[in-house]
Amino acid sequence: MRNYFKYILYVAVFTGFTSSFADTGVDFLRAVRGDNPSGVKSMIEQGIDPNIKDDSGQTALLLAMREPSPRVIQVLVDSPKVNIDGRNAKDETPLMMAALKGQQELVLKLIARDADVNKTGWTPLHYAATSGNVPIMKILLDKYAFIDAQSPNGTTPLMMAAMYGSTEAVKFLLDEGADTAMKNEQGMTAADFAARGKRPDAMALLAKPATPKRPADGKW
- The CATH number for 153's domain is 1.25.40.20
- Say whether both 196 and 112 belong to one domain: yes
Q: Domain tally for the chain?
A: 2
pLDDT score of 14: 41
- Say whether both 111 and 67 belong to one domain: no
- Say whether both 55 and 97 belong to one domain: no
pLDDT score of 62: 98
* Listed residues 26, 56, 83: the one ending a domain: 83
Q: Is-contact 115 146, C-beta < 8 A? A: no
Q: Is-contact 151 144, C-beta < 8 A? A: no
Beta bridge partners of 60: none
- Say whether both 191 and 100 belong to one domain: yes
pLDDT score of 24: 83
Number of Cβ within 10 Å of residue 7's Cβ equals 10
- Say whether both 64 and 100 belong to one domain: no
* Entry pTM: 0.85
Nearest partner of 100 among 126, 79, 77, 65, judged by Cα: 126
* Listed residues 29, 61, 83: the one ending a domain: 83
Phi/psi for 155 (5° steps) reads -75, 140
Give me the domain span that covers residue 69.
Answer: 1-83
- Say whether both 38 and 71 belong to one domain: yes
* Listed residues 16, 50, 83: the one ending a domain: 83
- Say whether both 145 and 48 belong to one domain: no
Q: Which residues contact 148 (CB under 8 A, 6 or more apart)?
A: 156, 157, 158, 178, 179, 182
- Say whether both 104 and 201 belong to one domain: yes
Q: CA-CA distance, 188 to 159, in Å (whole number)?
A: 9
Q: Is-contact 44 79, C-beta < 8 A? A: yes
Burial class (CB in 10 A: 0-12, 13-18, 19+), 20: exposed
pLDDT score of 215: 59
Q: Is-contact 174 181, C-beta < 8 A? A: no
Residue type, 211: T
Q: What is the pLDDT along the chain (220 residues), one digit of tens a residue?
A: 555 544 444 444 344 444 444 578 999 999 999 999 999 999 999 999 999 999 999 999 999 999 999 999 999 999 999 999 999 999 999 999 999 999 999 999 999 999 999 999 999 999 999 999 999 999 999 999 999 999 999 999 999 999 999 999 999 999 999 999 999 999 999 999 999 999 999 999 999 876 565 555 555 5
- Say whether both 98 and 70 belong to one domain: no
- Say whether both 131 and 37 belong to one domain: no
Q: Is-contact 28 68, C-beta < 8 A? A: no
For 75-118, the DSSP string reads HHHH-TTS-TT---TTS--HHHHHHHHT-HHHHHHHHHTT--TT
Helical (H) or strand (E) element with 136: helix 134-142
